Structure 1
Amino acid sequence: MNSRDVIILGGGLAGLVAGIHLINAGANVCLIEKDSYPRHRVCGEYLSNEVKSYLEFLGLDLQSIHIPELARMQFSTQRGHALECELDLGGMGISRYTLDHLLFQRFLKVGGEIIQTTAENCKFQENIFSVHCKNGKTLEANFVLGAYGKRSSLDKILKRSFINKRSAWMGVKAHYDNKDFPDDLVALHNFRGGYCGLSRTDLDTVNVCYLATYESFQKHGNIKAFENKVLSRNPFLEDFFQNSTMVFEKPLSIAQISFENKKMFENHMIMIGDAAGLIHPLSGNGMAMAIRSAKLASEALLEFKLDPNDRERIESNYTHSWKNNFRTRMKTGRILQKVLMQEKLSNISQSFVQHVPGLLPKIIKLTHGKEMHV
């Protein structure tokens, strides 16, 4: 049986980025992904410019696509009281449909191997991993990266602490045609039981992605009724839905989104992206965090030349880097979520921010990172 240097479980942003980075450095990498490309995912689709130079370093030709340049952020309370500020680094309005496909094509171009199946189990014995797949194959590698997203059947097999806790959150996403929505704006609108992000994408559509408590959603039975009776109580969202046409056949949704703390390693599998930790979407920077975590894990592996005998030092290096980069962001996201989910507290905090104009940019900065060095 041929053994790889690294097997990556999951072909989203984190998995593809890590694969490209490692292959560029000479590693033998196999990626396992059950879905085909291109496809849409539930995602806010705002990407901070902190990762732009790094993506170009990996070989992505972002200049060949018309990507809206996002320069402003607008926030409103449930009643529609709004604040606005400039984004320090700015960002890109790029759909996951486009970005994942670009990364997938780049991964293949640099010589990456993709197997379209599902990893059903992953065992670690005698300093080597065995990955058992749904297609009947068993693959071996010195290292495995868990890049399979928010939750997977593997989480149950690995007995991860969060997987058996029922989560209160669900996410919904669709693209809309709305010619009046500004090209340079990221909007975050609060509603009872959740919050909704809007921004224009490279597909000349406006991405609408919201997070809601399942308790608030189930009272209304379906997505359309929930949007009409709950989201539209916010006047900004009411105006948007009244003047927009959905271009998807139906919205995408995902349930059981967990924001519990997650371990960065499970039986020596290195977790990256959402598998390592999920920031509240209201912080608007999950895509950049997934990409950065892939870079950090790749650098930790390469620093010790992918030597399995240095596994302990690799894990220590990645843990230190991950905490330095994300601990403040995750903490800030949790605090913001608690504030925005309480209407009185949200109104009070916004009133305070209105009297201190420089505070909102500082809060946003706490959920973003510095430009990545390559």
Structure 2
Amino acid sequence: MNPTKHTYFDVAVAGGGLAGLSTAIQLARAGHSVVLVEKNYYPFHRVCGEYISEESRPFLQQLGVPFKSLQLPEIRKLIVSSPNGKIVNIPLNPGGFGISRHLLDGILAGFAKSAGVMLLEGSRVQDVWYDNGNMYLQTSGQLISSQVVVGSFGKRSRLDLKWKRPFTQDRQGKSSNYIGVKYHIRITQPQDTIALHNFNDGYCGVSAIEEGNYCLCYLTNANNLGLSNNSIRQMEERILCRNPLILKLFDSAEMIWKEPLSISNISFAAKTQVEQHVMLAGDAAGMITPLCGNGMSMALHGSKLLFQQVDAFLNGKISRQVMEQQYSKQWRHAFGIRLKAGRIIQEFFGDPVLSRLLVGLSDKLPGLAAYLVKQTHGKQF
């Protein structure tokens, strides 16, 4: 099939992360024609904590992810440290597993191709619009028309700016001014443990992924970078490493990459799930704070909710209006509480006083920590 000649599909997916790929796979396997536009080429790395809670395992197994052969590390313990290095140990029940986005996205991209999804890699979405019952998606090379467009273009895109979504207008707001930085490293930390280390205005997560490697990913306020002459290395030395455990981590780690991946303008503000008749999924629909370790699970679960509504619409069972309303309602019902919980818990992370208070209380009241963890996790889907 020549994508330059085939311009109509039942569904066009803008962005090929976990939400976009899994939605495309489900729709294609249900018999719908699907095109997915991704600016990069698979497989590639993304800024991500790379921990998935166990709630997602059955769904990924249904898609075909070969857990037995992958032999992924199972994570059942959590360590949280305050900026002064004091720690608390928290059991993770049911826990999760580690896998890099490079590996998982590559696997899902292969499933998408096998299901018949037209993957347009190395192609950017320039515009999306609705007109007289049809959706249109413009790339640099072609115009695609479809019944449905799924927007899974990540944390922030040109379309967000064009639509003037509220979170893009609050550039200096407390929930909209973060940067994320990620490394792959080798260390001696137990594979069954994920660590969250606090520092001033940020926190750093470390957990095992495949092949004995670890993901080190941290989030911080953009002001910290500004105070460090816009140098990531300088910020790590001057701010992150005030926590003695982070200092030890950077001193002992073998860096697999020479330079980290980074992303800016991260927002945890509330978002809509439908915009301009575009069905939004993954981080485009709403982001949970990384410390909760469930962004990947939310993207996967959200794709299942989205598939159910889009499939019903394409089969003529519901109208576009009902599809949009039911998806938004179901998404908010599934994730509303954990998003709010994540925002509340984040207030304690990155604040030297509050994080020490949280660690102290969790040490004395272990049931409190277990309760907080539970608020950010969902049931299997």
TM-score (norm 1): 0.96
Q: Do 2:80 and 2:359's aligned partners in 1 also have CA atoms closer than 8 Å?
A: no
Q: Look up the match of 1:35.
A: 40
The CA distance in 1 between the partners of 2:320 and 2:237, in whole Å, is 52
Of the three residues 72, 77, 81, the one matched with 1:67 is 72
Letter in 2 for 1:157: K
Q: Look up the match of 1:188.
A: 196
Q: Deviations over 1:246-288 (max 9, x none)?
A: 1112001001111121111111101000000111111111111
Letter in 2 for 1:187: A
The CA distance in 2 between the partners of 1:6 and 1:227, in whole Å, is 43
Q: CA deviation at 1:45?
A: 0.4
Q: Look up the match of 2:153.
A: 148
Q: Do 2:137 and 2:145's aligned partners in 1 also have CA atoms closer than 8 Å?
A: yes
Q: Look up the match of 1:311.
A: 320
User: How many residues get paired?
Assistant: 370
Q: Secondary structure at the match of 1:340?
A: coil
The CA distance in 2 between the partners of 1:195 and 1:88, in whole Å, is 22
Deviates more, 1:342-351 or 1:68-77: 342-351
Q: Secondary structure at the match of 2:194?
A: strand
The CA distance in 1 between the partners of 2:373 and 2:350, in whole Å, is 18
Q: CA deviation at 1:308?
A: 9.1
Q: CA deviation at 1:2?
A: 4.7
TM-score (norm 2): 0.94
Q: Look up the match of 2:10.
A: 5
Q: Any stretches of 5+ residues in structure 2 without a counterpart?
A: 1-5
Q: CA deviation at 1:305?
A: 4.2
Q: Secondary structure at the match of 2:153?
A: coil
Q: Look up the match of 1:88.
A: 93
Q: Deviations over 1:181-218 (max 9, x none)?
A: 11111111100110000001103211100001111122
Q: CA deviation at 1:21?
A: 1.0
Q: Do 1:142 and 1:308's aligned partners in 2 also have CA atoms closer than 8 Å?
A: no
Of the three residues 45, 57, 61, the one matched with 1:52 is 57
The CA distance in 1 between the partners of 2:98 and 2:378, in whole Å, is 18
Q: Look up the match of 1:290.
A: 299
Q: Look up the match of 2:208.
A: 200
Q: Deviations over 1:48-86 (max 9, x none)?
A: 111111111012222221211111111111111111122
Letter in 2 for 1:96: R
Q: Do 2:312 and 2:318's aligned partners in 1 also have CA atoms closer than 8 Å?
A: no
Q: Do 1:22 and 1:298's aligned partners in 2 also have CA atoms closer than 8 Å?
A: yes
Of the three residues 82, 105, 108, the one matched with 1:103 is 108
Q: Any stretches of 5+ residues in structure 1 without a counterpart?
A: none
The CA distance in 2 between the partners of 1:357 and 1:82, in whole Å, is 13
Report % sequence identity: 36
Q: Do 1:10 and 1:146's aligned partners in 2 also have CA atoms closer than 8 Å?
A: yes
Q: Do 1:20 and 1:107's aligned partners in 2 also have CA atoms closer than 8 Å?
A: yes
Q: Look up the match of 1:350.
A: 359
Of the three residues 287, 305, 310, the one matched with 1:301 is 310
Of the three residues 79, 82, 85, the one matched with 2:84 is 79
After superposition, the CA RMSD in angstroms is: 1.4
Q: Look up the match of 2:246.
A: 237
Q: Look up the match of 1:173.
A: 182
The CA distance in 2 between the partners of 1:20 and 1:322, in whole Å, is 19
Q: Secondary structure at the match of 1:67?
A: coil
Q: Look up the match of 2:3.
A: none
Q: Secondary structure at the match of 2:169?
A: coil
Q: Look up the match of 2:162.
A: 157
Q: CA deviation at 1:327?
A: 0.5
The CA distance in 2 between the partners of 1:112 and 1:62, in whole Å, is 23
Q: Look up the match of 1:129.
A: 135
Q: CA deviation at 1:309?
A: 6.4
Q: CA deviation at 1:306?
A: 4.4
